[in-house]
Amino acid sequence: MSVYRHPGTIITDHRFQVPLDHADPAGERIEVYAREVVAAGKEREPLPWLLFLQGGPGGRSPRPVGRDNWLDRALDDYRVLLLDQRGTGRSTPADRNTLPLRGDAAAQARYLAHFRADSIVRDCELIRRELLGEDGRWSLLGQSYGGFCTLTYLSYAPDGVREAFVTGGLPGLRSTADDVYRAAYPRVRRKVEAHYARYPQDVETVRAVVRHLREREVRLPGGGLLTAEAFQAIGIMLGTGNGSHALHYLLEDAFLPGVPGQQLSDPFLAEVQGHLSYAGRPLYALLHESIYGQRSVTPRATGWAAEAVRAEFPAFDADRALAEDRPVLLTGEMIYPWMVVTDPALAPLAEAAELLARRTDWPDLYDPERLARNEVPVAAAIYHDDMYVDTDDSLATARAVRGLRPWITNEYEHDGLRVSEGRVLDRLIRLVRGEL
């Protein structure tokens, strides 16, 4: 166990051995890493624990330097545990290098089926008992997908939870993957149209980039193929508070100035790669649609739902937009089957990804009846017109969870927890404590 200091904090590394399959506790084990953070001077105090569940799926926990952003507020009251959920960060990796060691595509898919929220919550329960004892309870802070995990926790292991805070992550308890994307495309269109209204010059730049990509093959610096459809996915940037401005600055550098003809610039391609490559978070792409799979909701496979539902929204057809002299719409938090083929970090796992998309027997992640009887204090920030999580789903879930206190705001986008300098977390803490 390593202990070290950052400005204003004491950090302790923890490693835990957990079953790959919690239904087989005597079987194969994997490692889960977590980073304990406590305010300097409080390291010997009996502070309550706050477990942070990161967004994703497949996102590693934050790497803080001192008391930055929301952590500053949390450390006033808590000893914080930043969890690298299984398969991410310093936990046992699951990527193009390690997954082929499992065997063929079927073996890889079986392995990956153990990396959803139900397994993450069971990991957390083992860790809680080890750190706090059998009767200890901790608080939860779930950001985005971490909020999904929080609802799974409250469904299946609420006795380990003292209180819960959710930011931008109340899922539809009975929503299918098709439902999620059918609601998402109109939201994304609104965000793109708002961006073009703010930066009308970007309409032609995007059209020019799409035309360029249709006329020639373009490779990203890491070797990935940048197609027109892949470029449209850059719209994922528009779900954050400064995303529209960042996208505009990215598009400013699209073409090399002063060069005959049109050539996409290296800085542009490098930045695009940073936004579109899944090298640092392969599980995000491989498991994204599976987080909506529940056998009691639908017996069907998720089946590349984002791709299937996209056909219902022809306005996102880039070629049609060019032909009709319309703005090209960008897309958002969607995973398409061609992404697995064009991204070098995913291509070796394409067959496993296909098998996951075809799987029909995903266990349920939520227990609506138990949530209706919930006794754990819960507060949730719901961001008005959140591009990534449907507001109507979030409001319905807020009503379905007994005692949940929602805060609905248009002051922040999906990244409100990170950019609000602790204000979002502070409000949720005060809601749970009955101070608001």
Annotated catalytic residues are 144, 361, 414
- Which residues lie below 8 Å from residue 120, measured CB to CB, with a gap of 6+? 53, 85, 86, 149, 152
Determine the distance from the C-alpha atom of residue 436 to the mean position of all C-alpha atoms in its chain, rounded to a whole number: 29
Contact 82, 55 (CB under 8 A): no
Cα–Cα distances (Å) from 8 to 4, 12, 13, 14, 39, in that order, read: 11, 14, 17, 20, 6
- 157 CB neighbour count, 10 Å cutoff: 14
DSSP letters, 58-124, are TPPPP--SSS-THHHHHHHH-EEEEEE-TBSTTSSB-STTTGGGG-SHHHHHHHHTT-SHHHHHHHH
What is the C-alpha to C-alpha distance for residues 179 and 171, in angstroms, rounded to an integer?
Answer: 12
Using alpha carbons only, give the angle 6, 7, 8 rounded to the nearest 5 degrees.
105
Q: Which two tokens stand for residue 364?
A: 């349920």
Determine the distance from the C-alpha atom of residue 141 to the mean position of all C-alpha atoms in its chain, rounded to a whole number: 14
Q: Which two tokens stand for residue 135?
A: 């009767």
For residue 18, what is the DSSP state? E
Q: How does strand 49-53 pair with strand 138-143?
A: parallel
Residue with tokens 């139900």: 118
Determine the distance from the C-alpha atom of residue 107 to the mean position of all C-alpha atoms in its chain, rounded to a whole number: 25
- 324 CB neighbour count, 10 Å cutoff: 9
What is the C-alpha to C-alpha distance for residues 264 and 342, in angstroms, rounded to an integer?
Answer: 18
Q: Which two tokens stand for residue 433?
A: 């404590």
For residue 348, what is the DSSP state? G
Q: 3-state DSSP helix/strand/coil percent for the chain, to nearest 5?
A: 45, 15, 40
